Every structure is written in C-alpha cells, then in structure tokens.
Structure 1
Amino acid sequence: MGAAMAALILLSACATQVPSAVEQSGTAPGFLLGLWHGFIFPFAWIASLFVPDIAVYAVPNRGGWYDFGFFLGITVLGGGSWFSSRKRART
C-alpha cells in the first residue's frame, strides 16, 4: 500500500498545466463562474451527451480559483456534502 501511494505521489508530481488552458485576462472564467459550472454540472453533463457544443468545464479559465469554485459548486451547492452528512433520526 505504501509503495503504491509513493508511486502515485511521484506520478502526480509530473503533472503540468497546459499554458493555453490558463488565462489571466479579465474575460476568462474565474471563481464565480467555476462555482456556477460546478452547481450545474449534473445537468450540463447530461446535456453534453447529446449536444457536442456543451462542455462541463470551461477552458481556458483562470486556473486555481476557477477550479476551487468548480469544486465548491459540485460538493456544497450540488448537495454532495449535504447528502453524505445527513443523519437519520431513529426513534
């Protein structure tokens, strides 16, 4: 298990971002659009199966802030953390 984890960490260290995928211009999607895209992800994914012009992730974007908003949109707004933390009352 430890060797597999070490191999995964070493492999992830080789990952790079394509320079053309990250823009710092004011028109590139940032945190708020990432949040929105994460929230509508389930609907956009289903639509993307039938309409080739629909994507679930914006490229190019502003990088880390867009990714953070996308993650929050999927987990918090999309109900990911709500469903997993919901406790059932037993009487």
Structure 2
Amino acid sequence: MFQRIAIAVGLALLLSACASQIDAGVSAEPAAPGFWWGLLHGFIFPWAWIGSLFSDDIAVYAVPNSGGWYDFGFFLGITVLGGGSFFGSKSRG
C-alpha cells in the first residue's frame, strides 16, 4: 500500500516539475485580475466553459492576471463556491 502511494506521489512530483507559466501570462499592473477576480471566475467556470464552446469571445481564465493569487482565487472558486468538493463528498444512499 505504501509503495503505491509513494509511486503516485513521485509521478505527480515528476509531472509537476514540468509545469511552468509564461511570463506574458503574469502582469504586475494594478488593473490585472487578482484574487477576487479569480474567485469569481472560478465560481462561474461551468457556465463560462459552456459559453466558450459556442463563442470565441468567452474565456474561462483571465490572461494576463496577477499570478499566484489569481490562481488561488480561481481554485477556491471552483472547489468551494462551485461545489466541487462539497458535492463530491456527499454519500449517495
């Protein structure tokens, strides 16, 4: 059991080591979307994704943004406000 977990964690770390963000995607300007915009964008993600299938003018993720704080807000918006972790944890029965 421990060996499987160790292998899974090792593969996840190996894969995440390849991840990077281009500098053009991060902006230091005060007007760049930050944490609160990320939170909103994460919350409306399901609707924005559906809209993006039908229109090129709709995006699910703001680029450029403020970087890590926008990403953190986006993550919270999807998981907490969007019900990602809440609805997945309910028992059916």
Query: Given the two structures, how large is their TM-score scaled by the length of structure 1?
Result: 0.83
Gaps of 5+ in 1: none
User: Which residue in 1 is equivalent to 2:37?
Assistant: 33
- Superposition RMSD in Å: 2.0
1:81 Cα deviation (Å)? 1.6
Identity, % of aligned positions: 66
User: Which residue in 2 is equivalent to 1:46?
Assistant: 50
Instruction: Report Cα offsets for 1:5-60 as digits up to 9, x if no partner.
Output: 53552342233220010011111000000000000001000000011010000000
Gaps of 5+ in 2: none
Q: Which amino acid aligns with 1:32?
A: W
User: Counterparts in 2 of 1:49-88, with a 5 A limit?
Assistant: 49-87=53-91
Which runs of structure 1 show a deviation greater than 6 angstroms over 4 or more consecutive aligned residues? Answer: none
1:87 Cα deviation (Å)? 4.2
Change (3 A) 1:51 1:63: same
